Chain A
C-alpha cells in the first residue's frame, strides 16, 4: 500500500515540475515565433538574441559598462540605502511605538510625507547632494572602486523608499505588543532598557521583518526608476534606458529579465531570513 503510494507520488512531483516549467516555455516559444514572424529585431528581438546578451554579462555596452557591472552598481546602491532605512526606520518605529508622546509629535509629519512617491524626492536630492558620491563624503575624491558610482542623492531616494514600509510595520508591531508581556517582564525585574531589547524588539520582530521585506522590494523598484531619470550615469536602470534610446531592445529585455530575477531573489532571501528568525511565530499563546 505504502509502496504503491511512494511510486505514484514521484510522477506527481514530476508533473508539478513540468507544469511549473510549461508556462515559461510556452511563453518563450510564442515570443520566438512572434519575433521571427515580425522580423524587426530593433523593436522586438528574438529569444535567442536576448539570451545571447544574458550569456555575455561582461560585454561592455556604450560607456556605462556591462550588464553585470551595472546590476552590481544598482544592487550596491540598494543595499546601502536599504540598510540605512532599516536602521533608522526600526529605531524610530520602536521609539514611536513605545513612547506615545513622541509618536504624537512625529506621526502627522510622517503621514504627510508617506504618500509622496520616493521618485518625487529625486530632483530635490540631486540639488541638495549634487553628484557627490559616498567616498567624497569621507573626503576621498576617487576611490577607484565601485563605490564611486554610489551617489548620495540615489542613496537618499532609496532610503526614502525603504524607510516608510519599515517604519510603519515596526510601529504597528511595537504598538501591538501585548500589555501582558510588558507586565510579565516588569514583574520579573526587567528595566526599561531590558524591556526594550527583550520584549519590544523580539515581540515586534515578525512585523519588523515584514517591513524590511516590503522595504527591500520597494527599494529595488525605486532604484530602477531613479536610474532611468535624467542625471543617472550608471546602474541597470540607466543601461536599460540608454539601450532603449539606441534601439538595442535585446539589451533592454535582457536588463528587464535581470531586474525581475534580482527582485525575486531579494524577496526569496528575505523570506528565508524571516523563517529562520521567527520560528516561534506560528502561534501566540
Chain B
C-alpha cells in the first residue's frame, strides 16, 4: 500500500467556512423558546475532515443545516469561501431518507447530474464509476427499499459525490447501521476523503467515530449548543482503535465530556 497523505495539512490553510457568533432559536408549539445554538465561532479549513461530536439533540443537525443554507441563522454569520455554493458543490448526506425511494440506485446517483442537464450517456459513465467505487456495482437497478441500510448509505454517498462536492456535510450518516458495516463505511469515507479534494464536516455522537475519522474534533455542549472543546487529531491513517495514542485521546475526550454525553 502506498503511503497516503495523513491530514493533508498545507503550510497555509485556506478557509472554507467562517462562522462568527452563530446562534439559532427555535419556537416550540407551546410558545417557549429553545436555544439550539449559541455564539459559535468556528473556522473550517479547506480540505480538513472536521468531526463534530455531541449528544443527540444538541443542535448538531441544525448546525449543518445552517451551513448548507437549508435554514437561516438568528444571530451571527456564516461565510462560505473558496468557491463554495449551495446546490453546486456542497454535498449533504442525511441519516434518514437519503435516497428517493421512487428512483433506482443508478437514477438516485445520477440525480444531481440530471438536474444539471448532463447527457444520459455521460451520466451513466459517471454513475457506474461511482457505484463501483462505493461497492455497489451490480445494484444499479435496485430500488432503495431493496437495499440494506449500509448499502443505502453507500448509494447516498455516491449520490452526493456525483455533484463533485468541495464540501461534504454528513449528519450521523452511519448511525443506523450495524457495527461491522459501520467500520467498512468509515474506512470508505476516509479513503474517499483522501482521494478527492474535499472538506468534510461530519456530525456524530460516537467518540470513537469522531477520532477515527476526524483531523479535528469539535465538541458541542448540550442546549444551547456551544463549542465545549476542540481536539486536533494527528494520528496516521488508517487509524487503529487499539493504538495507545488513540485510546489516550479517547479517554481525554471522554473526561472532558463527562456528564455531557449519555
Real binding pair:
yes
Min Cβ gap B48→A in Å is: 21
List residues 92-123 of chain B with CB under 8 A from any CB of chain A.
Answer: 92, 94, 96-103, 111-112, 114-116
Min Cβ gap B63→A in Å is: 15
B21 within 8 A of A: no
A280 within 8 A of B: yes
Q: Could you give, for residues 8-27 of chain B, a 1 whenever the CB lies within 8 Å of some chain A CB and a 0 otherwise?
A: 00000000000000000000
B159 within 8 A of A: yes
Taking A203-B102, A280-B143 as contacts, is the C-beta distance between A181 and B97 under 8 angstroms?
yes
List residues 256-285 of chain A with CB under 8 A from any CB of chain B.
Answer: 278-280, 282-285
Pair B101/A280 contact, Cβ less than 8 Å: yes
A194 within 8 A of B: yes
Enumerate chain A residues within 8 angstroms of B100, measured Cβ to Cβ. 181, 184-185, 199, 202-203
Pair B102/A184 contact, Cβ less than 8 Å: no
Enumerate chain B residues within 8 angstroms of A280, measured Cβ to Cβ. 101-103, 143-145
Taking A187-B91, A189-B112, A280-B143 as contacts, is the C-beta distance between A285 and B97 under 8 angstroms?
yes
B189 within 8 A of A: no
Min Cβ gap A198→B in Å is: 7
State in angstroms the CA–CA spacing of A203 and B144 once bound together.
Answer: 14
Min Cβ gap B19→A in Å is: 19
Q: Could you give, for residues 179-220 of chain A, a 1 whenever the CB lies within 8 Å of some chain B CB and a 0 otherwise?
A: 011011111111100100011001101000000000000000
Taking A187-B70, A189-B112 as contacts, is the C-beta distance between A278 and B87 under 8 angstroms?
no
**Do most interface residues of chain B lie in helix, strand or loop, or is the interface mixed?**
loop
B211 within 8 A of A: no
Pair A183/B70 contact, Cβ less than 8 Å: yes
A130 within 8 A of B: no
B68 within 8 A of A: yes
Taking A187-B87, A189-B115 as contacts, is the C-beta distance between A283 and B101 under 8 angstroms?
yes
B152 within 8 A of A: yes
In the complex, the chain A residue whose C-beta lies closest to that of B152 is A285
Q: Could you give, for residues 135-160 of chain A, a 1 whenever the CB lies within 8 Å of some chain B CB and a 0 otherwise?
A: 00000000000000000000000000
In the complex, the chain A residue whose C-beta lies closest to that of B111 is A188
Enumerate chain A residues within 8 angstroms of B98, measured Cβ to Cβ. 184, 285
Q: How large is the interface on A (under 10, 10 to 19, 20 to 34, 35 or more residues)?
A: 20 to 34
Pair A189/B145 contact, Cβ less than 8 Å: no
A178 within 8 A of B: yes
Q: Which of B88, B101, B102, B103 contacts A189 (CB 8 A)?
A: B88
State in angstroms the CA–CA spacing of A203 and B160 once bound together.
Answer: 20
B177 within 8 A of A: no
Taking A181-B97, A183-B70 as contacts, is the C-beta distance between A279 and B159 under 8 angstroms?
no
Pair B145/A285 contact, Cβ less than 8 Å: yes
Enumerate chain B residues within 8 angstroms of A178, measured Cβ to Cβ. 97
Pair A278/B115 contact, Cβ less than 8 Å: no
Pair B143/A279 contact, Cβ less than 8 Å: yes
Enumerate chain B residues within 8 angstroms of A188, measured Cβ to Cβ. 87, 111-112, 115, 159-160, 163
State in angstroms the CA–CA spacing of A184 and B100 once bound together.
Answer: 9
In the complex, the chain B residue whose C-beta lies closest to that of A206 is B102
Min Cβ gap B111→A in Å is: 5
19 CB-based A-B contacts, threshold 8 Å: A178-B97, A181-B97, A183-B92, A183-B94, A186-B86, A186-B87, A187-B68, A187-B70, A187-B91, A188-B87, A188-B163, A191-B115, A198-B111, A205-B102, A278-B102, A283-B101, A285-B97, A285-B144, A285-B145
Interface residues of A (CB under 8 A from B): 178, 180-181, 183-191, 194, 198-199, 202-203, 205, 278-280, 282-285
